Amino acid sequence: MPPDIGRAYPGDPYELAERIITEPELREDPFPIYEKIRLSMPVVKTSQGWLVTSWPAAIEAHRSAAMSIDIRRWATYRHYLTEEGTVGPAFESLAASILMMDPPTHTRVRKLLSSAFTARKMEEMRAPIQSMVDEILESSFRDTDFDLLGDLAYAVPARTICRLIGIPVEDHLLFEEWTRRVLPLAAMTVPDDRIKRTADEAALEQRAYLGNLIARRRQAPGDDLVSALIAAREGGERLSDEEIMAQLYALVGAGHETTANLTMNAMLAFIQNPEQWELLRSDPSLVPSAIEEVLRYDGPTAFTRRTAIGDTELDGNAVRAGDEVFICLSAVNRDPAIFADPDRFDIRRSLAPEARARQHMAFGHGIHYCIGAPLARVEAGCMLGSLARRVRRPVLVTPKINHKAALLVRSITEMHIATG
Q: What is the average per-residue pLDDT within 321-350? A: 95
pTM, rounded to two decimals = 0.92
Q: What's the whole-number average pLDDT of the chain?
A: 90
Q: Which helix (H) or strand (E) holds 147?
A: strand 146-147
Closest CA to 68 of 247, 325, 294, 268: 325
Sheet containing strand 146-147, strands side by side: 146-147, 416-419, 394-396
Task: Compute the Cα dihedral for 272, 276, 282, 287 and give only its sign.
Answer: negative
Which range, of 104-113, 181-190, 252-261, averages the lowest pLDDT?
A: 181-190
Alpha helices in 299-418 (DSSP H): 329-332, 373-390
Question: What is 277-332 written as a DSSP string?
Answer: HHHHHH-GGGHHHHHHHHHHHH-SB-EEEEEESS-EEETTEEEPTT-EEEEEHHHH
- Contact of 35 with 334, CB cutoff 8 Å: yes
- Contact of 372 with 254, CB cutoff 8 Å: yes
For residue 121, count CB atoms less than 10 angstroms from its CB and return exposed for 0-12, middle for 13-18, buried for 19 or more. Answer: middle
- Contact of 97 with 248, CB cutoff 8 Å: no
pLDDT at 9 over 70: no
Residues of the chain with pLDDT > 90, as a percent, come to 65
| 3-state secondary structure (DSSP) of residue 415 | coil
Pairing of strands 50-52, 67-68: unpaired
Compute the C-alpha angle 161/165/304, nearest 5°: 55
User: What's the N-to-C CA distance of the chain in angstroms?
Assistant: 38
Assign domain 76-300+368-419 one CATH number from 2.40.50.140, 1.10.630.10, 3.60.150.10, 3.90.1150.10.
1.10.630.10
pLDDT, residue 315, reads 95
Closest CA to 188 of 59, 67, 38, 71: 71
Question: What is 242-266 written as a DSSP string?
Answer: HHHHHHHHHHHHHHHHHHHHHHHHH
Q: What is the distance, to the nearest Å, from the Cα of residue 257 to the centroid of all Cα atoms in its chain?
A: 6
Residue 16 vs residue 115, higher pLDDT: 16
pLDDT at 354 over 60: yes
Residue 80 and residue 102: Cα distance in Å, rounded? 20
pLDDT, residue 5, reads 46
Q: What is the average per-residue pLDDT within 362-376? A: 94
Q: Quick one: pLDDT band at residue 1, thresholds 50, 70, 90?
A: very low
CA atoms within 13 A on the CB side of 181: 20
The residues with which 304 forms a beta bridge, in sequence order, are 327
Closest CA to 205 of 243, 173, 157: 173
CA atoms within 13 A on the CB side of 54: 15
Which range, of 145-154, 254-263, 277-286, averages the lowest pLDDT?
A: 254-263
Q: Which amino acid is at 234?
A: E
pLDDT, residue 2, reads 41
Residue 346 and residue 371: Cα distance in Å, rounded? 26
* Per-range mean pLDDT, top range of 141-145, 168-172, 325-329: 325-329
Residue 141 and residue 387: Cα distance in Å, rounded? 10
Q: What is the average per-residue pLDDT within 369-392? A: 95
- Contact of 40 with 331, CB cutoff 8 Å: no
How many helices (H) does the chain have, and how many strands (E)?
18, 10
Q: What is the DSSP letter of 73?
A: G
Q: Where are the domains of the chain?
A: 76-300+368-419
